[in-house]
Amino acid sequence: MPTNDNIGTAEDRFATTDKKGEYSLELPPGFYDVIATATAFSPHCEKIRIKGKATKRHDVVLKVSPVTSKELD
């Protein structure tokens, strides 16, 4: 019988970075949409997969929003 490794979660989870920009979440195996946002930066969205009980490192680099940079000039 195949195992279901796409449990995911039914609700949104939120994490806030620390002063070094690091964050941590515990999630069951599955596919997730990771969305990173910060004031004055363009949002970043990406789908990731977590397998089994593995630890997954996921780095995100946000880009300065072109709209914001024009407003600050």
Which range, of 4-8, 25-29, 40-44, 51-55, averages the lowest pLDDT? Answer: 4-8
User: What's the average model confidence in pLDDT over 3-16?
Assistant: 72
Contact by Cβ (8 Å): 33, 47: yes
Beta strand pairing call for 30-36 and 44-50: antiparallel
Q: How far apart are CA 60 and CA 50, in angstroms?
A: 16
Contact by Cβ (8 Å): 60, 37: no
pLDDT tens column, 33-65 = 999 999 889 999 999 888 888 788 888 999 999
Which range, of 11-15, 37-41, 69-73, averages the lowest pLDDT? Answer: 69-73
pTM: 0.69
